[in-house]
Amino acid sequence: MKIVYKFRNWENEHHKKMLKDNTIHFASPNSFNDPFDSTIPFRYDLISDKELLKAYYKIIKKDKPNISRQEMRNKAREELKKGIVKSPDYPEKAREIIGQYNANMFGIFSIAGKYDDLLMWSHYANNHKGFCMGFKYELLIEYCTQHFFKKEKVLESRPVIYQEDYPIIIPTIEDDIEFMIRPLTYKSKVWEYENEYRLIVYEGANVDVVIPSEIFEGIVLGCKMSLEMKNEIKAIADKKNIPIADSKMHLEKYALQYRKY
């Protein structure tokens, strides 16, 4: 079974909820530390006028379902004549629009593919003074999918794709959900060390989900965490039968060593 990880700061009361209350948080993209994250614009400027007219019609139909088809067509033609998406400043305006839309509509639970990366400990676990929680990936997806299905929400699970340049995301009439999700799953190669996976829920920004303890695989403690904090975590983890490992700096190389705590 695949294991994924979340790096947390035990000094942060919100982060403590993951272990104390079994709570995971689906954050809004506007809380992320990468300004490029989830702001890749759809390239309406690269599609034909015919396809653009269809796109406008679809948008108007969704926003104003009670008007007649002829009125929808007329409004779509009016939007096309404005030439907004063909203007030079369109990509920057589109970035602002998509960034704000994603911030309000999507909730993301980000997890890492490994626990032993030094940068992850430094950046996301309070400079090695925090902890790392392991999750059984398939069980996590199954539980969250069912949880949101009951609330009539859709969950998607995706690995993040890392590359030098923006992906060119050209919207199509048929591929609605997929192209909506795509801007949330690409990041610059500078973040490749994160080896990130994302659970993404539509209309779920800043939502908490309480999961069963059985989904936790284990906990790894940071090499600079205080003994007091380690014992606090151990007391909670023992009650929930969650295994704990401790980390320490390797004596011969730039790496960490792990042992049962």
pLDDT at 61 over 90: no
Q: How far apart are CA 192 and CA 259, in angstroms?
A: 27
pLDDT at 168: 86
Q: How confident is the model at residue 58 (pLDDT cuts 50, 70, 90)?
A: confident
Q: What is the pLDDT of residues 110-167, one digit of tens each?
A: 999 999 999 999 999 999 999 999 999 999 999 999 999 999 999 999 999 999 998 8
pLDDT at 175 over 60: no
Helix 49-63, helix 69-82: angle, nearest 10: 130
The owner of tokens 């033609």 is 77
User: Is residue 240 within 8 Å of residue 139, measured between CB atoms?
Assistant: no
pLDDT at 173 over 60: no
Q: How confident is the model at residue 211 (pLDDT cuts 50, 70, 90)?
A: very high
* Bridge partner residues of 188 (DSSP): 163
pLDDT at 19: 97
Work out the percent of the chain whose per-residue pLDDT is above 90. Answer: 69
> Domain segments of the chain: what residues?
3-40+107-260
Coil, strand, or helix at residue 178? helix
Average pLDDT over residues 16-35: 96
**Mean pLDDT for all residues in the chain:** 92
Between these two residues, 111 and 178, which has the higher pLDDT value? Answer: 111
pLDDT at 3 over 90: yes
Question: pTM to 2 decimals?
Answer: 0.87
pLDDT at 50: 87
User: Is residue 109 within 8 Å of residue 101, measured between CB atoms?
Assistant: no
pLDDT at 172: 63
pLDDT at 131: 98
Between these two residues, 94 and 253, which has the higher pLDDT value? Answer: 253
